[in-house]
Structure 1
Amino acid sequence: MVGTHAIRGSRVGSGPMGEAERGQRAPSVTVSYWCAHGHESTPTFMADGDIELPEMWQCPRCGMPAGRDRENPPEAVRVEPFKTHLAYVKERRSDADGAQLLDEALSAMRARGVGSGSS
């Protein structure tokens, strides 16, 4: 008897839910945002007078920033490359400062007898 179950996969009480069962839907507003690639994003926000809508939104398709002005979308944010500890030190110190610090450290080590080659 294949195919005799007319309501196969259904459960009692699994009918479509209407607003009466879920309650009233909150008022909302849909806002359009455009990125530099021309993608449109339309997130929905709660329509409350106290809520301030964001000026920028991240495009879900390409990840670029999107704005509300279709003709002038925001520019891509420049991502700074990873810097090593040495790169940060070189930004703070000149070569002359580094040479002076090295001389001071070597003098201090020699005064303690470290690194002189004697055991």
Structure 2
Amino acid sequence: MAGGNAIRGSRVGAGPMGEAERGESAPRTIISYWCSNGHETRPSFAQEPGLALPETWDCPRCGFPAGQDRENPPAPPKVEPYKTHLAYVKERRSDADGEAILQEALSTLRERGLIQ
């Protein structure tokens, strides 16, 4: 025997745990949620008076929102492509506005003698 360790292979908290040690578990309700890809998710919730169940739940398989109506699941979120700073500026300003701002900036630089 190596070292004579009497509790070899055991760890703190090891052993059978049942209802007697943990207490009674709360009564549960299982609700089905479906996403737009047809995946079903079945989380369980405690049955408590006044507890509001969530209308949507994130699908663990695809990440889309899932609803309780199988025939009419929530639509997947619309993904916006990445926009540059210039794209946001072009949304706010017309080409005519941009040209006017450019001419104003150029005239200011000419007055200072920084450009010709």
Q: Cα deviations across residues 18-67 of structure 1 (Å, max 9, x unaligned)?
A: 11101222233221100122111011222222322111111111112111
Aligned to 1:27: 27
Please list, as runs of the form range in 1=range in 2, the aligned pairs for 1:36-47 lying within 5 A after superposition: 36-47=36-47
Normalising by structure 2, report the TM-score: 0.82
Q: CA shift at 1:112, angstroms?
A: 1.3
Cα separation, partners in 2 of 1:111 and 1:13, compared to 1, 3 Å: closer
Instruction: Read off the aligned partner of 1:91 and give its amino acid letter.
Output: E
Q: Separation in 2 of the partners of 1:111 and 1:36? A: 62
Structure 1: tracts of 5 or more residues without a match: 1-7
Normalising by structure 1, report the TM-score: 0.80
Q: Separation in 1 of the partners of 2:70 and 2:63? A: 17
Cα separation, partners in 2 of 1:11 and 1:80, compared to 1, 3 Å: closer
The CA RMSD over aligned residues, in Å, is 2.1
Local SS of the residue matching 1:107: helix
Local SS of the residue matching 2:29: strand
Q: Separation in 1 of the partners of 2:13 and 2:75? A: 51
Instruction: Read off the aligned partner of 1:68 and give its amino acid letter.
Output: Q
Aligned to 1:3: none
Aligned to 1:52: 52
Q: How many residues align?
A: 110
% of aligned pairs identical? 65
Local SS of the residue matching 2:71: coil
Local SS of the residue matching 1:89: helix
Q: Cα deviations across residues 66-107 of structure 1 (Å, max 9, x unaligned)?
A: 110011111211111111110110000000000000001111
